[in-house]
């Protein structure tokens, strides 16, 4: 994983704003462009007060400044339903009735100026030529409801780490907020802080999160991680600090195998360590080391197979029962750049990866020499991938604006969810009936969006 705040071979992001294809004067009441740009600059610059004069900051500011100049509208609604879409609003509360072309031009503009990051220099067009082009459909998941505003805004502390939204049911969605871990109930339309920030160790800056098995697990920039119960009527407990297994940033935390009531988690570190931790005893069951940063990890439901991807063009499949010093069971090749996401299908037959080469790849674990399918995004790296618990769908989220849903029955169909802003995470409910997407953007604000599966699927 890149050093926080440092861009590796940024592509795109011009030094001067480019005009939209058409000129328009549709300003609404609210902040002027200058005010918006100033707010964006304050948000992008590290909250510690230090200004990183790096390529990452420069190109991020350039993109945000350009986007702010191109977009001078204000959201009208803070809660949006499917009925509002029929009245001309979008999922984020903006009114576009009669000026639909303006949004289309703006989204095209965002695509053209959004900065891409390459850990290994490569030709994106070569990747795109190898990708499948599934039929574009719109009938897999339908928008139901969104809650918007700062209260529903996830806090993204590292631009490459995005799995910050988790659902343990259709009614319980957990996300990392500036105030701590929050729970959102989209059906009751309620939100509450279940683990306040003050209960975390001092200086805790979250980098990874997952929720499941009645617990929430978080990791930070200093190699510390905490565990707390999701369901507790008492307000007296505090999250348990698990100490420092390593001194480097925790890139990812994944739920491990559960057997006989014993739960475990996988913890991926930037220094190349992959730990299997027993939740009950907070002790390490097993540790593995790699010569590259481990950016994401996953384990099959039966606990037999693990996957690790990171700062390498090949991911690895690991026999979880083998000794720690054993070589990988197989390699997942074909990537042109570093990978930051991986996930197994519920039946453990397939494993998906997401890479900075803008592609998501699906491998058959029985023959992982080459991808079974490969898809490219529109705007940047594939930062998050996840299979629905029913196994029928694969969700792949780009860093901003797009979440793709692929039909795993042949991978011949895809539904694109288009929004405006940085994507904090995308997660399915355990019954596969809902898909939740978190938005955390300096210009377009925060929000949580809910989509429900169509009955015929």
Q: What is the pLDDT of residues 29-68, one digit of tens each?
A: 334 444 444 444 444 333 334 444 444 555 565 676 667 6
Residue with tokens 């230090």: 50
Give the pLDDT score at 404. Answer: 99
Q: What is the pLDDT of residues 163-184, one digit of tens each?
A: 999 999 999 999 999 999 999 9
Going by pLDDT thresholds of 50, 70 and 90, the confidence category of residue 17 is very low
Locate the domains of the chain by residue range. 126-453
Which of 445, 451, 347 is CA-nearest to residue 403?
Answer: 451
Give the pLDDT score at 284. Answer: 87
Give the pLDDT score at 49. Answer: 40
Are the beta carbons of 13 and 29 closer than 8 angstroms?
Answer: no
Mean pLDDT of the chain: 85
CB neighbour class for 135 (10 Å; exposed up to 12, middle 13-18, buried from 19): exposed
Give the pLDDT score at 245. Answer: 63
φ and ψ of 82, to 5 deg:
-60, -35
Going by pLDDT thresholds of 50, 70 and 90, the confidence category of residue 116 is confident
Give the pLDDT score at 162. Answer: 94
Give the pLDDT score at 27. Answer: 33
Give the pLDDT score at 74. Answer: 84
DSSP-derived pairing of the beta strands 273-278 and 283-289? antiparallel
Higher pLDDT, 24 or 67: 67
Q: What is the pLDDT of residues 396-410, one digit of tens each?
A: 999 999 999 999 999
CATH number of 126-453: 2.130.10.10
Are the beta carbons of 232 and 219 closer than 8 angstroms?
Answer: no
State yes or no: pLDDT of 243 exceeds 80: no
State yes or no: pLDDT of 238 exceeds 60: no
Give the pLDDT score at 241. Answer: 56
Residue with tokens 């909250």: 47
Q: What is the pLDDT of residues 251-308, one digit of tens each?
A: 999 998 766 667 889 999 999 999 998 888 788 889 999 999 999 999 999 889 999 9
Q: Taking residues 305-324, what's their average pLDDT?
A: 96
Pair of tokens at residue 77: 């609604």
Round to whole Å and give the CA distance between 295 and 368: 20
Q: Taking residues 192-212, what's their average pLDDT?
A: 92
Higher pLDDT, 234 or 321: 321
Round to whole Å and give the CA distance between 153 and 438: 7
Higher pLDDT, 368 or 11: 368
Q: What is the pLDDT of residues 363-382, one digit of tens each?
A: 999 999 999 999 999 999 99
Give the pLDDT score at 278. Answer: 86
Give the pLDDT score at 382. Answer: 97
What's 11's DSSP letter? B
**Which positions ≥6 away from 287 have C-beta within 8 Å?**
273, 274, 275, 276, 324
Give the pLDDT score at 41. Answer: 42
Round to whole Å and give the CA distance between 335 and 355: 7
């Amino acid at each position: 994983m890149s050093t926080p705040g440092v861009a590796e071979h940024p592509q795109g992001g011009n030094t001067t704003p480019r005009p939209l294809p058409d000129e328009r004067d549709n300003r609404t009441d609210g902040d002027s462009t200058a005010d918006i740009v100033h707010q964006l600059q304050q948000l992008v610059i590290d909250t510690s007060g230090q200004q990183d004069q790096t390529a990452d900051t420069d190109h991020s500011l350039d993109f945000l400044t350009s986007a702010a100049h191109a977009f001078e509208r204000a959201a009208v609604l803070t809660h949006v339903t499917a009925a509002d879409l029929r009245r001309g609003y979008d999922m984020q509360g903006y009114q576009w009735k009669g000026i639909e072309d303006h949004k289309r031009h703006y989204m095209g503009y965002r695509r053209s100026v959004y900065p891409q990051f390459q850990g290994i220099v490569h030709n994106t067009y070569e990747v795109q030529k190898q990708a499948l082009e599934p039929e574009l459909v719109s009938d897999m998941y339908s928008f139901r409801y969104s809650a918007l505003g700062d209260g529903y805004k996830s806090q993204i502390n590292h631009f490459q780490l995005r799995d910050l939204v988790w659902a343990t049911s259709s009614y319980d969605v957990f996300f990392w907020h500036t105030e701590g871990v929050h729970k959102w109930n989209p059906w009751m339309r309620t939100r509450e802080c279940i683990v306040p920030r003050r209960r975390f160790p001092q200086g805790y800056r979250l980098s990874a999160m997952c929720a499941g098995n009645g617990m929430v697990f978080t990791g930070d920039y200093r190699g510390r991680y905490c565990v707390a119960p999701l369901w507790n009527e008492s307000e007296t407990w505090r999250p348990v600090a698990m100490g420092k297994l390593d001194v480097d940033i925790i890139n990812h935390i994944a739920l491990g195998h559960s057997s006989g009531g014993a739960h475990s988690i996988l913890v991926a570190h930037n220094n190349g360590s992959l730990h299997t931790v027993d939740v009950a005893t907070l002790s390490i069951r097993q540790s593995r080391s790699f010569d590259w940063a481990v950016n994401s990890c996953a384990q099959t439901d039966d606990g037999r197979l693990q996957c690790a991807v990171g700062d390498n063009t090949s991911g690895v499949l690991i026999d979880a029962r083998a000794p720690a010093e054993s070589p990988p069971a197989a390699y997942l090749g074909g990537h042109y750049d570093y990978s930051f996401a991986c996930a197994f299908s519920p039946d453990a037959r397939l494993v998906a990866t997401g890479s900075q080469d803008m592609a998501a790849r699906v491998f058959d674990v029985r023959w992982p020499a080459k991808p079974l399918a490969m898809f490219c995004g529109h705007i940047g790296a594939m930062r998050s991938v996840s299979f629905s618990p029913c196994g029928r769908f694969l969700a792949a989220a780009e860093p901003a604006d797009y979440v793709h849903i692929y039909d795993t029955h042949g991978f011949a169909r895809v539904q694109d969810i288009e929004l405006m802003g940085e994507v904090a995470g995308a997660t399915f409910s355990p019954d596969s009936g809902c898909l939740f997407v978190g938005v955390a953007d300096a210009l377009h604000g925060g929000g949580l969006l809910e989509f429900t599966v169509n009955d015929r699927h």
